[in-house]
Structure 1
């Protein structure tokens, strides 16, 4: 009974209540978790792809510019979490209303689950390839998906404490280990290998690289309150977000692009094999997926708590783990990219709306006794307006309308459009009595 009681005390509960004083953390905690989330197999594939579509100098500049924008947005969304002391899904209830937020929360759950399924599937495929080439062992991928899904789910079910402990152990190992193939590649090809002229089949310009970098991480920025609510001060938030998005994120992405340039491959496992460190690289692949994927599952559980408030968070995390594992077993990897593009356009204006509404009506997010209406029309219209602008600026090659361009980054266009709409709506209705638009 003592063991069960200790486990029960360890598991995080009641996401709707503000964290207690003993649960608050300083900036190193969030920094470690966020960096651990960044280091993932899809992340390295993404950086490697950038290295295949532009020269290294252009990639580096584009990554730095995009990361600065992400850092600014990360500080803003994280600050909302610190002040409100609520997870993202419960913040957007106050923005869009109890019923008005349900579809958005459902999309957040689906996006997190798809990320979980995608990364789990990639990890299992990577492990299967390493075991096949190095040990001549054929891994049943469906069994691997179940085992890996259960392993990663364990820390997300417990909560932030377990995620933080995994990150503290994993991140230093990952940062050290990922430098090994880079050192081997530079030893073989020299520094000139990074900047040597080469044929680029589908070149990307600087603006497109900035757009892709911002679009790839906008969902992660949008759900920052899930973790930032555990920070002690606004300074902790600014420090953690700056180190992650403006320092660690671009350095790691540039590292991934350098590996893609040196080895001519965006596949992390193929890079490990080419560098001759496949078996040690297995540890990198496992830890990289674990530190990234437990946040996806944790976010899913928190979002489900907003839809099913009477069910314990950890129980919902178990359900999310099962669903995410099923998605991995169903080969979500083959159907994910186009869907993810549209998810970015749906999620970005959501975060733009809740940040804008928070800046104008902070008390709505800090007063625990404030009534939450069923629908709030102005934020919902702002969200829809942002989606329309995002689809209008998305190029036709990416299944958008391609009618015009604003920032050359459709997700940024959608985010800014939602914020502008809400600011204008507030100015137009600010002098009137409270209405459905408020």
Structure 2
């Protein structure tokens, strides 16, 4: 029986899903945009942001539409291409990656809130206590499901947008000394586009999680295009302005030169709340496949407790490179399930096929492994294809899966004839 695609009673509009996605992506945008702006002129940055956003918007529209068609999240979709048991390995990878970002965002929340309380109110609270308080907020925003996540986004995202544009106003009306604004280094255009795509490609790769909740295909496309084709480039460009004006690679450092760090600190706190609520939601979905005997709210609470412990540690120095390495292996999964959908699932996702298919599909893992290796090589500059490592790995995974699927289908036909 194929999965139906009609809207369910608790489905959401494309605009509602876009708000949730925006809440998740604000934290990486804030962290990455100033770094980009510090190395490029604003005009070059704008062109690079536009190019990267077009790539992301097209991928997101496709991926969210696949989620809408399947009416299941990413972890369910990958079962069809990797096999029931094979998908466990992919889900473990995704679970580790999502939990890592949960912990890193909790850590960022703790330090940002600590600095705000210390500077504005003279309160020196222990960072672990603040991280734990933040994790309580993240859990409360997630434990009641998709509907609660939407309510958090509707409240917080407009505040975040207002803060970002207020920061833009402060930057444009300030007088930054020309010596400070000089560029220390110049990033190549290809590397800039790669940075813009790579900043949020893992969210795009797992965006079928949200497609499972949209009204229909039209709303799936609206969510992808509105989030990554309109809002993402606008926010990224706004965030790049202070860095471009000051040549500082972090928003807080740039705002310190401009004159005040308070709006940026408040922005980071709100961004951490919305971002980690979304991370918790996705993390709960994928971990529930590995521990199906536990209720989802219990998994959310467990993730919150672990995030409070790990996020209270000094993890930024060694955890970020590890998470970036995991990011190399996630985009090829996106290329594979897109190829599988186009080749095998355009008429629907038939759950009965999972019982008759192989539990582990070695050819899919070959395509994934080769694509991940290509991504690793291009990230490290050993060679280049498109100039955007994550796109390289997606394309190699897509083509590899199509080729190996045809080879497998030809062998099966030869054996039955």
- Superposition TM-score, scaled by structure 2 size: 0.92
2:298 maps to 1:311: no
2:36 matched residue in structure 1 = 50
Of residues 350, 373, 383, the one that matches 1:388 is 373
CA drift of 1:330 comes to: 2.2
Instruction: Provide Cα deviations, 1:149-195, integer angstroms capped at 9, x if missing partner.
Output: 111111111111011001111111211121112112211239x98xx
Equivalent positions of 1:200-349 (< 5 A) are 200-271=183-254, 278-279=261-262, 282-349=265-332
**Native 8 Å contact 1:69 1:214 kept in 2:** yes
- What is the CA–CA distance in structure 1 between the aligned matches of 2:33 and 2:374, rounded to whole Å? 27
**Native 8 Å contact 1:74 1:224 kept in 2:** yes
- What is the CA–CA distance in structure 2 between the aligned matches of 1:150 and 1:377, rounded to whole Å? 41
- What is the CA–CA distance in structure 1 between the aligned matches of 2:47 and 2:230, rounded to whole Å? 13
Instruction: Provide Cα deviations, 1:335-376, integer angstroms capped at 9, x if missing partner.
Output: 133223321210011111111111111069622333343201
- What is the CA–CA distance in structure 2 between the aligned matches of 1:337 and 1:318, rounded to whole Å? 24
1:97 matched residue in structure 2 = 83
Of residues 379, 382, 391, the one that matches 1:412 is 391
1:5 matched residue in structure 2 = none
2:135 matched residue in structure 1 = 149
Residues 1:177 and 1:229: Cα distance change in structure 2 (over 3 Å)? same
> Secondary structure of 1:148's match?
helix
1:70 matched residue in structure 2 = 56
**Native 8 Å contact 1:63 1:210 kept in 2:** yes
Of residues 163, 184, 204, the one that matches 1:177 is 163
- What is the CA–CA distance in structure 2 between the aligned matches of 1:418 and 1:278, rounded to whole Å? 43
2:16 maps to 1:25: no
CA drift of 1:245 comes to: 0.4
Residues 1:197 and 1:246: Cα distance change in structure 2 (over 3 Å)? farther
**Structure 2, gaps ≥5 residues long:** none
Residues 1:374 and 1:143: Cα distance change in structure 2 (over 3 Å)? same
Aligned alpha-carbon RMSD (Å)? 2.5
- Residues matched between the structures, number: 411
- What is the CA–CA distance in structure 2 between the aligned matches of 1:284 and 1:198, rounded to whole Å? 23
Equivalent positions of 1:335-374 (< 5 A) are 335-362=318-345, 366-372=349-355, 373-374=358-359
Instruction: Provide Cα deviations, 1:272-306, integer angstroms capped at 9, x if missing partner.
Output: 55566655655433221111111111111111111
CA drift of 1:236 comes to: 0.5
1:11 matched residue in structure 2 = none
